[in-house]
């Protein structure tokens, strides 16, 4: 057997800066030239925070986006999707609290035609009554599916527990069934007309382009030309007092557990500290939580911890699911581990976290699709394309003390969310000193 | 041991993919779930590597590692900065060479619990999570290698011991039963030299024999099962027996299922979701398998007020019509363009490429198939698809129904 080889340090790597332009419509464009990436990716981050939704119509932003590819004036019905597919393309996207992200992938030689189609959808999606009504019925079914999945149900309960109710981010992204039912087709069209506009939006493209995408976009006779309109205001949510919630899911064979606090956004100076701390607590395979709860005790398939940044603030949470008969003991163990007052993070833990982040970084932007997804998410959260490189730099400044201090400050009194069979879980939790509010 | 190197200096990393030619189809009666449980043990330490160290060490130098078990194979993969390539190979070699001598009852006891938690989390505690087990039972007779799921039964997982695991590793985890692919910032000379250095000393042994797989005909008697469960909506899933993966007929059925059930312009989505508004969502796809048969799947979730019998009747009409008419020219064109984009998109990632090379070397003995597959897919014509669609006629389906518990 050969002897154990030494590891050579990772080669320095930086995410290259994009080429930038602002079109005459006000649309900002970022181009990442990626040699060898023949399937190009395009994404547009549209500045439509969900706090723009009227209070009784949660779910309007997500519903509006879902109808955007249901046909345009030029390509009615499924004609629009078929036109994209004819180019070898596909459509995706995501709608989050901070905004909508429209996505399209096409072979790079078809980029010019894809720009024309995307422009058409953004300007002239039909948003017909029948399409809106059909999407509503499907969305209500989706909402019920989401509520039936215990991990998703737990995440909804966590938001509600951590964020004050006057903020949109405390409430389900897709809205409730009743709220979606109340949305009218004219609400959808008004949301699009008021807020889908080129000024404030950013188009990101990446690939091996035979022709400069900026030149193609400048040449295009653009239909997506709405006026800038009023300034878009993003909410800055505030934290609720700590809570303990048991969501009753009769018959569950596991307890889905989230244990967390209000966390940090990417603009916070402690963002690298909390990233390192979470990696040491619940990111690495032998992180504190996974080592004990999975590898030593066999209580769970996996225990994790992360800080999930919002545009303002974040959700800092440990997560795992445990079989019912060990759930209370596992939760007590989790609580003990998250309380780091007696066991601050060590230099070895910080080094492992930083080396992981630095070494893994190039792989996260390998394909045009990964790059555009990551960039659109950052832009949607209000960050600039230089953020990933600055974050990498900040990681090297993290010390055991700074990671410990940030983590301890943010986890003084976490909230506990448990989704599971209350008949099996409530008594053991109470015996352990928890006082859960049981909801169904 | 076969070694494949594919240089690609686009990022300073290397993807490693090792495939062992053993999966759940190799499990004996009473041993369901063992291949997967034993995959977990590969991370529990070997002669020179402590429990958990494999993953933890690679992560601490910027790498990632994991493993998956399927019906036909077990694969172990790492993505590492080039500076950690040798360490990753050394650890893979250490566990291949020495694992059976370092298993402990304590280690396996913990991983039995971890795997049972995995089963609860992914199958037992989520709506429709048990579908795959029922679909396999509908499609394959008792005793067939694909009759049982990869995760296996709780009882069988509970019965696994360290001695049984050691015997399993000694039988299946052999250089001759493994393929390793290296893709990334490494030259062929470096890759072959490193493979020789770290794996070359492991004693050779014959590849274990496996009985040839019989190919079963399409289902004929419409086997069915109704499940009453706390699901959010009624749903129906069809299963079809198909030819072995990557044959012309299998490829044709894959294309048909894409035209029928993949995306907003697909026939089932257009008919059941857009026009009739009786379904919240449809899907079509395949389980590509090498042992005699593959599987085709079609599923639809009902909207409230639509009985499953109506949904099935309409779904069947779409299947029958396609088998009669075949694809339109536009459908054939779009599905080929899509296959091309998906294939090229997947190969753009070096992890996927490493996986593909090991896959075709393991299952077909021919990694060069990766370079020919796209031409094979694009050479299909409308007649191929019409012929493939005969395998998806309603007479050949197995039916799994989920009925909401509170529907009485």
Residue spans of the domains in chain A: they are 19-219, 244-439
Contact B263 A254 (CB under 8 A): no
| Residue B201 C-alpha, separation from nearest chain A C-alpha, in angstroms | 7
The CA angle B391-B393-B399, to the nearest 5 degrees, is 100
Phi then psi for residue B403, to 5 deg, are: -115, 130
Global model pTM greater than 0.90:
yes
Contact B334 A78 (CB under 8 A): no
For the record, the structure tokens of A108 come out as 């790079």
* Nearest chain B residue to A131, by CA: B274
* Nearest chain B residue to A296, by CA: B110
Q: How many contacts, defined by CB atoms under 8 Å, are there between A and B?
A: 215
- What is the mean predicted confidence (pLDDT) over A383-402? 97
* Nearest chain B residue to A287, by CA: B56
**Closest residue to A85, CB basis, from B80, B273, B337:** B337
The confidence score (pLDDT) of residue B408 equals: 43
The answer to whether A90 faces chain B, any CB pair under 8 Å, is yes
Q: Which residue has the tokens 């997804």?
A: A373
Whether pLDDT at A20 is above 90: yes
The confidence score (pLDDT) of residue B345 equals: 87
DSSP B307: -
The confidence score (pLDDT) of residue A10 equals: 76
Contact A297 B110 (CB under 8 A): yes
- What is the mean predicted confidence (pLDDT) over A239-243? 97
Decide: A196 and A48 in contact? Cβ < 8 Å: yes
Question: Does residue A176 sit in helix, strand or coil?
Answer: coil
Residues of chain B with pLDDT under 50: 408
In CATH, which of 3.40.190.10, 3.40.50.20, 3.30.830.10, 3.40.50.720 is domain A244-439? 3.30.830.10
For the record, the structure tokens of B82 come out as 């080039």
Q: Which domains does chain B have, with CATH numbers?
A: 2-199 (3.30.830.10), 224-407 (3.30.830.10)
Show the 3-state SS of chain B: CEEEEEECCCCCEEEEEEEECCCHHHCCCCCCCHHHHHHHHCCCCECCECCCHHHHHHHHCCCEEEEEECCCCEEEEEEEEHHHHHHHHHHHHHHHHHHHHHCCHHHHHHHHHHHHHHHHHHHHCCCCCCHHHHHHHHHCCCCCCCCCCCCCCHHHHHCCCHHHHHHHHHHHCCHHHEEEEEEECCCHHHHHHHHHHHHCCCCCCCCCCCCCCCCCCCCCCCCEEEEEECCCCCEEEEEEEECCCCCHHHHHHHHHHHHHHCCCCCHHHHHHHHHCCCEEEEEEEEECCCCCCEEEEEEEEECCCCCHHHHHHHHHHHHHHHHHHCCCHHHHHHHHHHHHHHHHHHHCCHHHHHHHHHHHHHHHCCCCHHHHHHHHHHCCCHHHHHHHHHCCCHHHEEEEEEEEHHHC
Decide: B21 and B362 in contact? Cβ < 8 Å: yes
CATH topology of domain A19-219: Cytochrome Bc1 Complex; Chain A, domain 1 (3.30.830)
Contact A294 B114 (CB under 8 A): yes
| Residue A157 C-alpha, separation from nearest chain B C-alpha, in angstroms | 17
ipTM of the complex: 0.93
**For an interface test with A, which of B108, B262, B264 has the most A Cβ atoms less than 10 Å from its Cβ?**
B264
Contact A296 B110 (CB under 8 A): yes
Decide: B141 and B398 in contact? Cβ < 8 Å: no
- What is the mean predicted confidence (pLDDT) over A402-417? 98
* Nearest chain A residue to B52, by CA: A286
* Nearest chain A residue to B116, by CA: A301
pLDDT band at A2 (very low <50, low <70, confident <90, very high): confident
Query: Which helix or strand (DSSP H or E) is residue A260 part of?
Result: strand A254-263
A223, exposed or middle or buried, with CB in 10 Å at 0-12, 13-18, 19+? middle
**Tens-digit pLDDT profile for residues B270-296:** 999 999 999 999 999 999 999 999 999
The answer to whether A243 faces chain B, any CB pair under 8 Å, is no
The answer to whether A88 faces chain B, any CB pair under 8 Å, is yes
Contact B59 A356 (CB under 8 A): yes
The confidence score (pLDDT) of residue A227 equals: 87
Contact A88 B337 (CB under 8 A): yes
Chain B residues with CB under 8 Å of A298 CB are: 109-114, 117
User: What is the Cα–Cα distance from A28 to A25, expressed in whole angstroms?
Assistant: 9
User: What is the Cα–Cα distance from A30 to B126, expressed in whole angstroms?
Assistant: 41
Helix axis angle for A368-380 and A387-395, nearest 10°, is 90
**Closest residue to B303, CB basis, from A137, A296, A322:** A137
**Closest residue to A141, CB basis, from B53, B109, B303:** B303
Chain B residues with CB under 8 Å of A5 CB are: 86-87, 90
Question: Does residue A319 sit in helix, strand or coil?
Answer: strand
Chain B residues with CB under 8 Å of A70 CB are: 264
| Residue A228 C-alpha, separation from nearest chain B C-alpha, in angstroms | 32
Q: Which residue has the tokens 């939790």?
A: A429
């Amino acid at each position: 057997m050969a002897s154990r080889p030494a590891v050579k340090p990772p080669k320095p790597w930086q995410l290259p800066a994009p080429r930038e332009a602002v079109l005459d419509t006000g649309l900002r464009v970022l181009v990442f030239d990626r040699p060898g990436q023949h399937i190009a990716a395009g994404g547009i981050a549209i500045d439509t925070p969900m706090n723009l939704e009227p209070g009784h119509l949660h779910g309007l932003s997500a519903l509006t986006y879902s109808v955007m590819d249901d046909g345009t004036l030029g390509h009615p019905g499924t004609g629009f999707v078929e036109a994209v597919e004819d180019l070898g393309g596909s459509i995706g996207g995501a709608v989050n609290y901070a905004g909508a992200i429209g996505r399209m992938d096409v072979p790079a030689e078809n980029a010019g035609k894809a720009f024309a189609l995307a422009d058409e959808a953004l300007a002239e999606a039909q948003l017909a009554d029948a399409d809106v009504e059909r999407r509503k019925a499907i969305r209500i079914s989706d909402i019920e599916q989401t509520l039936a999945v215990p991990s998703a149900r737990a995440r909804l309960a966590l938001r509600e527990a951590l964020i004050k109710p006057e903020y949109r981010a405390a409430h389900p992204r897709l809205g409730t069934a009743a709220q979606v039912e109340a949305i009218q087709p004219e609400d959808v069209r008004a949301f699009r007309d008021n807020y889908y506009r080129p000024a404030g939006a950013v188009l990101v493209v990446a690939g091996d382009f035979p022709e400069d995408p900026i030149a193609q976009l400048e040449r295009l006779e653009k239909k997506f030309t709405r006026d800038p309109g009023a300034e878009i205001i993003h909410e800055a949510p505030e934290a609720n007092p700590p809570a303990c919630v048991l969501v009753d899911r009769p018959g569950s064979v596991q307890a889905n557990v989230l244990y967390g606090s209000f966390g940090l956004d990417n603009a916070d100076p402690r963002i690298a500290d909390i990233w390192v701390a979470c990696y040491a607590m619940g990111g690495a395979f032998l992180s504190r939580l996974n080592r004990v709860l999975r590898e030593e005790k066999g209580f769970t398939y996996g225990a994790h911890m992360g800080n999930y940044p919002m545009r303002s603030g974040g959700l800092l949470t440990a997560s795992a699911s445990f079989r019912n008969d060990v759930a209370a003991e596992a939760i007590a163990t989790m609580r003990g581990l998250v309380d780091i007052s007696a066991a601050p993070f060590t230099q070895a833990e910080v080094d492992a976290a930083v080396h992981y982040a630095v070494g893994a970084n190039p792989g996260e932007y390998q394909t045009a699709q990964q790059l555009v997804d990551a960039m659109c998410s950052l832009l949607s959260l209000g960050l600039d394309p230089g953020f990933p490189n600055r974050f990498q730099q900040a990681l090297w400044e993290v010390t055991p003390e700074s990671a410990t201090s940030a983590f301890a400050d943010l986890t003084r009194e976490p909230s506990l969310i448990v989704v599971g069979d209350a008949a099996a879980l409530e008594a053991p939790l109470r015996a352990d000193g928890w006082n859960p509010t049981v909801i169904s | 041991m076969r070694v494949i190197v594919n240089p690609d200096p686009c990022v300073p990393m290397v993807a490693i993919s090792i495939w062992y030619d053993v999966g759940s189809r190799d499990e004996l009666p009473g041993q369901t779930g063992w291949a997967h449980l034993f995959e977990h043990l590969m991370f529990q330490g070997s002669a020179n590597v402590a429990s958990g160290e494999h993953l933890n060490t690679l992560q601490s130098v910027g790498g990632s590692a994991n493993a998956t078990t399927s019906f036909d194979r077990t694969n172990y993969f790492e993505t590492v900065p080039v500076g950690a390539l040798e360490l990753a190979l050394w650890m893979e070699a250490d566990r291949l060479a020495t694992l059976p001598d370092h298993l402990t009852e304590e280690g396996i006891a913990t991983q039995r619990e971890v795997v049972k938690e995995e089963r609860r989390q992914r199958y037992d505690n989520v709506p429709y999570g048990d579908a795959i087990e029922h679909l396999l039972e509908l499609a394959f007779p008792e005793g067939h290698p694909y009759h049982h799921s990869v995760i296996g039964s709780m009882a069988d997982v509970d019965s696994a011991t360290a001695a049984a695991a050691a015997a399993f590793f000694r039988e299946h985890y052999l250089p001759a039963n493994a393929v390793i692919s290296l893709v990334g910032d490494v030259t062929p000379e470096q890759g072959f030299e490193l493979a020789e250095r770290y794996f070359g000393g492991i004693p050779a042994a014959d590849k274990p024999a496996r009985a040839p797989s019989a190919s079963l005909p399409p289902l004929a008697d419409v086997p069915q099962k109704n499940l009453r469960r706390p699901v959010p909506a009624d749903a129906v899933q069809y299963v079809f027996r198909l030819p072995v993966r990557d044959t012309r007929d299998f490829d044709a059925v894959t294309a048909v299922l894409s035209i029928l059930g993949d995306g907003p312009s697909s026939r089932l989505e257009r008919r059941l979701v857009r026009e009739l508004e009786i379904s919240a969502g449809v899907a079509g796809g395949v389980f590509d398998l090498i042992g005699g048969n593959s599987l085709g799947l079609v599923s639809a979730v009902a909207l409230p007020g639509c009985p499953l019998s109506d949904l099935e009747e309409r779904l069947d009409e779409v299947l029958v019509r396609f088998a009669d008419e075949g694809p339109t020219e536009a459908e054939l064109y779009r599905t080929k363009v899509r296959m091309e984009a998906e294939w090229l998109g997947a190969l753009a990632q070096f992890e996927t490429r490493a996986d593909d090379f090991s896959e075709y070397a393991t299952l077909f003995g021919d990694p060069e198939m990766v370079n020919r597959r796209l031409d094979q897919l694009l050479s299909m014509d409308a007649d191929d698809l019409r012929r493939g669609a005969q395998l998806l006629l309603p007479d050949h389906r197995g039916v799994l129904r989920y009925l909401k518990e509170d529907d009485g």
